[in-house]
Amino acid sequence: MPDRARSMDDGAMHYTAAACVCLVALSLAPVQERPKPSAPTLAQNQVLDSVQGAWRLRKIEDKNLRTQGRQETGYFVVSGSHAAIEIHIGYTLVNGTLGEPEFQSGIYAASVDSERKLVLGTLIGMRTDRAVKAIAEPVGQSRKFGVEVAGAMLTLRRDDGAVFQFDRLQDKSGKSDFYGRPVGEKPANGK
């Protein structure tokens, strides 16, 4: 019996040793680099630069959304190559009760494609489905939008015809700190 137990332990040791050799061999293998994306063109940079900042939703035009009794609110914030979207839609029914709300919320990688369309790739996001249940968006899911900026108004047009209009929020960054003091001003206690 002891010999049989010893042979089983030896077998396990051989598998462990073989696994360690494989791990060492894999760690020494050269790392394959992903191809680097081409640098954005000047036109692509101009599109992304034009949407930088914070925007408040003005209205949505979407044939898939009811219009009667609809209220909508939302924000679109773009900083560098990332964007955040928060949109909530609610309905007041004819009898005055509240209908089922809808929402979309997430953080996205922002880029501009060769057609100068804004591409938002999901990093993390949630939305409601047709049954009005919250579902997670798949990482990497992308949406494309045509972009129009006219003064302080941003219009995003999806290929399916949906239109999202936003108003630019006033940018006061760099003028005051978290407490509303002008930047560079020292507090009264000098610290």
Per residue in 43-80, pLDDT (tens digit) is 788 899 999 999 999 999 999 888 888 899 999 999 99
- Asked whether the predicted pLDDT for residue 35 surpasses 60, the reply is no
Backbone angles phi, psi at 178, to 5 degrees: -55, -35
* Contact between 71 and 49 (Cβ < 8 Å): no
The mean per-residue pLDDT over the stretch 110-128 comes to: 93
pTM for the whole thing?
0.68
Are the CB atoms for 141 and 132 separated by under 8 Å? no
Q: How far apart are CA 132 and CA 171, in angstroms?
A: 35
The pLDDT of residue 132: 81
- For residue 179, is it within any domain? no
Its domain, for residue 139, covers 42-168
Within a domain: 72: yes
* Nearest C-alpha neighbor of 73 from the set 107, 104, 106, 108: 104
Whether 30 is in a domain gets the answer no
Measure the CA–CA gap between 179 and 40, rounded to whole angstroms. Answer: 38
pLDDT for the residue numbered 93: 87
Please report the beta strands in 92-168, taking only residues with DSSP state E, as ranges in sequence order.
102-112, 118-128, 134-136, 142-150, 153-158, 163-168
Q: In the structure, what pLDDT confidence band is assigned to residue 145 with cuts at 50, 70 and 90?
A: very high
Token pair 């968006």 is at which residue? 137
**96 inside domain:** yes
Residue 158 falls inside a structural domain: yes
2 burial via Cβ count (<10 Å: 0-12, 13-18, 19+): exposed
What tokens appear for 53 in the block? 């900042």
Q: Is residue 144 part of a domain?
A: yes
3-state SS, residue 132? coil
Q: Is residue 25 part of a domain?
A: no
The domain that contains 55 carries what CATH number? 2.40.128
In a domain, 116, yes or no: yes
Amino acid at residue number 16: T
- Check pLDDT > 70 for residue 3: no
What's the full length of the chain, in residues? 191
The model's confidence at residue 88, banded by pLDDT at 50, 70 and 90, is very high
Q: Would you call 182 helix, strand, or coil by DSSP?
A: strand
Assign residue 44 a region (left: φ > 0; alpha: ψ between -120 and 50; beta: otherwise): alpha
d(CA 74, CA 86): 5
Average pLDDT, rounded, for the chain: 80
Per the structure, the count of domains in the chain is 1
